[in-house]
Amino acid sequence: EIGQLYRQFEDYDKAIKYYLKALSLCQKVEEVDSSDLLGMIAEAYCEWGKCSEALKYLTKMLRSYEQSDNKSSYAKTAENIGWVYRITGQLEKAVASYLKSLKIRESETEKHDFAVCMLNLSEVYLEQGKLDKAEQCYREVLRISAENAYKEILTFAELGIGKVSLNQNKAKEAIHHLKKAVQAATDLGLNEIRCEGHGVIAQAYEMSSEFKQAIKHYKAFYRLSHEICKTRTDKRYLSLLDWLNFQKNLNEAEVQRLKHVELVEVNRDRELLKLTVEEIGKEKELLLGELREQAEKLEQQVIKDALTGLSNRRHFDEQYNYEFNRALRYKRPLTLGMADIDHFKKVNDEFSHQIGDEVLRQVARLFQENCRSQDWVARYGGEEFVFLFTETPKVNAVIAAEKVRKAIEKYDWTQVHPGLKVTISIGLSDDVTLGSSEKMLSLADKKLYEAKRGGRNQVAY
């Protein structure tokens, strides 16, 4: 529980230390399954931005479980490895890890963990655009969940089949499964699934040209999105109060410790730990101010990148998938651009990471100033950015991208640091007929690397 508290407040170093202490205790008791705790350690490493550490740790534990023939822990750890591969975009490796876990679990009498793992595998197949495999897995999860009354897993399976059907342009079938998912999510109080379900149903109705129904479900989607955001804010408020109590208890424990220390400085140290009424009042005001500030920031954290102020990857992915499906369905032009700051690692190494952060902020500002009002721009990760040129064929997108590239090239970067020079490379893709948004994104990424191999500071298309 202490590890969880530190993790909530993003002190991952201390969180992992407490997790490892708990793991050490669990491993001393043979009948205790520590695989869930391993998953928490992996999640904490990934949230800390150290996914490679998570993989290294989990792989080591996997070998240990294999040697000890601990099949249950082996299966759970393989599933955790699959999750890390999935969030880092290594989808083929994720599939292999999930299949490894399923092979162990298929002989188990209790099918809950098997169903959860297969559900995760279904999601990866959907992300890869392998719709037939995704549907096959979702339907198997649906069958197992129905037979065993796994209501929550069944809800996810219905939602997944609905998304697959939508991607197969089977709007009527998609609506059938999605409505079942929304009703089940309503009964179970799964608001995030309800929200996603309404959003996908709206797309299905839009595909069927039933616009009144589409608007109805879009309204439900946005209403639930607001409620979910408010709930997260409330939870953050309560977590801050828990953190304050935790720190208070630590102080009280320290006071008790000092009572047993036979040193001359005990009384002085004890006095330093006492809080006057005035100090408590000040701390209370500071806490309330922090809570108000956190509540205001949480709304933006859902969709904004903290450093640049641009849309974050999650928000962009939602908008991109919607625009891609719309362009594909109505045969409208859409161009996607991927941009990368040239030699950004060299900027960090030669001028410092602080200068690197300032470069990212200035690049984001120049993007916003030089993009058209209908264009979307977001930070995709690190020094990578993405552009969405809606209602724009490639020939016009090239002009827009060149304008952005020249703005970066001509900017006086010596204002940031003497001797600094920054350029960008951009890759464009407009082929919505590829069949999936992921493939179009992959093509834009290939064009970006063509621009880099061609000498950088250029637009490739």
CA 352 to chain centroid, in Å, comes to 27
Instruction: Return all residues near 252 (Cβ < 8 A) that are at least 6 apart.
Output: none
Q: Is 383 a catalytic residue?
A: yes
Residue ranges of alpha helices (H) inside 88-210 are 91-105, 112-128, 131-148, 151-167, 171-188, 191-207
Residue ranges of alpha helices (H) inside 129-170 are 131-148, 151-167
- The angle subtended at Cα 379 by Cα 341 and Cα 415, nearest 5°, is 50
Residue 71: in which H helix or E strand, if any?
Answer: helix 71-87
Report how far residue 174's alpha carbon sits from residue 449's, in angstroms, rounded to the nearest whole number.
37
237, 291 in Cβ contact below 8 A? Answer: yes
Report how far residue 443's alpha carbon sits from residue 437's, in angstroms, rounded to the nearest whole number.
10
319, 376 in Cβ contact below 8 A? Answer: yes
Going by DSSP bridges, is the β-strand pair 424-429/376-381 parallel, antiparallel, or unpaired? Answer: unpaired
Going by DSSP bridges, is the β-strand pair 424-429/459-460 parallel, antiparallel, or unpaired? Answer: parallel
260, 318 in Cβ contact below 8 A? Answer: no
Catalytic residue among 66, 158, 383, 409: 383
Number of residues assigned to the chain: 461
Q: Which residues are the active-site residues?
A: 383
